Structures are given as C-alpha cells and as structure tokens.
Amino acid sequence: MARSDKAEAGTVLVTGAAGCIGAWVVAERVKAGLPVHIFDLSDDRRRLHLLLDVEAAASVPWTAGDIADFDAVERVVGESGAAAIVHLAALQVPFCRADPVAGAKVNVVGQVNVLEAARRAGIRHVVYASSVAALPIAGEARPSTLYGVFKQADEGAAEIYWRDWGVASVGLRPHTVYGPGRDQGLTSAPTKAMVAAAAGLPFTIPFTGPLQFQYARDAARQFLACAEAAVEGAPVLDLGGPLVTVAEIVAAIRAEIPAAEIACEGDPLPFPAEADGGPLDALIGDIGRTSLAEGVCASIAGFRDLLARGLVSAG
C-alpha cells in the first residue's frame, strides 16, 4: 500500500467520534501516540471511556459542532490542522426512519460539507463511512431504507467531487459491526446480546439469516489504513469479514457462557448478506480480521469488565 507520511503522522480529524467506530478510531490513534482531533455534536466521551482511561480520553482535542453546519466544519478542518479526515458522523437506520429530514441533513449535507471543506483546504485523504445498506437487495433496484438511499447519495457526491475538483476519497461499507461501544442502530442487537449474556440476562436478537460480522477494532484499523493510503479517485470498498449466520453468533455467545439465554427470531436484515472485501485488501493489505470466536470472546470479556466498573448496562 502506498502511504503518505503526512497523513500518517499528521492530525486525523474524526467526525462522529462519539459513536462506536469513531471511538475505536480515536483510541487506536491515541494508543499509537499519533495526533487526532474529534468533531462531534456534543462532548460525550462515554464510548471513549470504554476503550481509554479517563485521562487519555480527556486529553483528546474535541470540538463540538453540527456536521450540517458548513462554517463549523470548515473552521474545525482549519483549526485542527487536519492532514486527513475520517468522516463517521451519521444517523443510522432507525433515526433516519424516525426523522427523515434530520437524517438527510446529517448524512447527505454533512457528507457534502466534509468534501467541500477538504476541497478548500487541499486535503487529499478523506475516508467516509458508507454502508452495505447502500446496496440493493436481490430483485430490487434501490436500497430498501432511507439510510441506504442517503448513503448511496454520499457515494455519488464523492465521485463527483473527484471528477470535478480532484478531491480523492475512499468510502467504506461496513455491514454488522460489533464490540464495545456498539449500542445503537439496527445491527447493534448482536452486541446487545453479548452484554446481556455477560450480565446474566436473556436477550432475543430480532433478526436471523446470514451477515458479515466485523469486529469494531478491525473496522477502525481499516478506516485508518485508508486514511494513510495514497488514493486516486473515489473508490467505494466493502469491509469484508467472515460470513456467519445469526444462529452461529448465538452459538458463539453460548460457547463463552453456556447458560446464556440468547435467541434469535425474525426476518433477515434488509440489505445484502455479503460483500467482497478483496478490493479493500488490495488497497491496504490484509490487516488481519478477527474470527467470530475470537471477537465474541474478546467482546464478552470486555463487557464483563465494563459491567463490573459500571461503564455499561444491560438494561
């Protein structure tokens, strides 16, 4: 993989870092001793506290602001001295359904604001989160959710910014990310099941079928590797990862906690079960993907510790 020394050693601006993948991205930078700056709607470090001690989490520069406010976005890009942007600010499926206007502002206007701020600042390392939800399921012409439609628009905007102004970017499509910090969104249910099992409580995952299961730390490392890559164009790449069924996830949880009362029921998720991670590996190399057994084991061990310290709850 071709890397930019400036992008690797310079400040990475992370939008939406109060969320799951964002918190992991920040934690990876902090643990590596590399500069990072957060831009999020509020100064909520709760998920960072799951991954870093209080002092380390407090040391990260954090600017509170609205991703839909272009002036605020342009200002933080300049003030942070960003060499790269990892754009993760978004409203997920349930929130877009509940408030479509807010979903469009955050997910579509926010994307354009980041691309435009990068264009004006001359930043050539932009990585943003699309989603497998941007892909239509078999037999359909378009994504099946507003969130998916918004993410498809983000991919199109990135392509136009490359064609018209030479703003290079990489869009990454996660599927079902899990692990500490994954506590909201449609695909957070397997993680909630692990928390419940660690707490000795029952939980039913409200969907079944196959999906690609992606450990949050792996996803964060893939986003950061793309932020360091020298990219021409605006490729959109899938994270890849092991294809498993929800029943296999339930079995993996029970392998760690045999008495766990975890079940699954319902229809499969409303987007494709699997996407090819090969092109991403070709760009950044194989950074190593955590297996189902390893990821579930690490997550449950982490949740036991976090429950004991009162940092998460199963309620």
CA diameter of the chain: 58
How far apart are alpha carbons 33 and 16 in whole angstroms?
21
Strand (E) or helix (H) holding 173: strand 169-173
Closest to 152 (Cα-Cα) out of 188, 185, 184, 104: 104
How far apart are alpha carbons 279 and 276 in whole angstroms?
7
- Written as six digits, the tokens of 279 are 């092109």
The length of the chain in residues reads 315
Q: Cα(first)–Cα(last) distance of the chain, in Å?
A: 44
Helix (H, G, I), strand (E, B) or coil at 203: strand
> For strand 176-178 and strand 203-205, is the pairing parallel, antiparallel, or unpaired?
unpaired
Q: Which of 128, 147, 161, 178 is catalytic?
A: 147
How far apart are alpha carbons 306 and 302 in whole angstroms?
6
The 10 Å Cβ neighbour count of residue 5 is 9
178 is catalytic: no
Give the list of residues 6+ apart from residue 160 with CB closer than 8 angstroms, or none.
Answer: none
Give the list of residues 6+ apart from residue 201 with CB closer than 8 angstroms, or none.
Answer: 261, 314
Q: What are the Cα distances from residue 80, in Å, to 7, 100, 131, 145, 200? A: 13, 31, 27, 35, 44
Catalytically active residues are 147
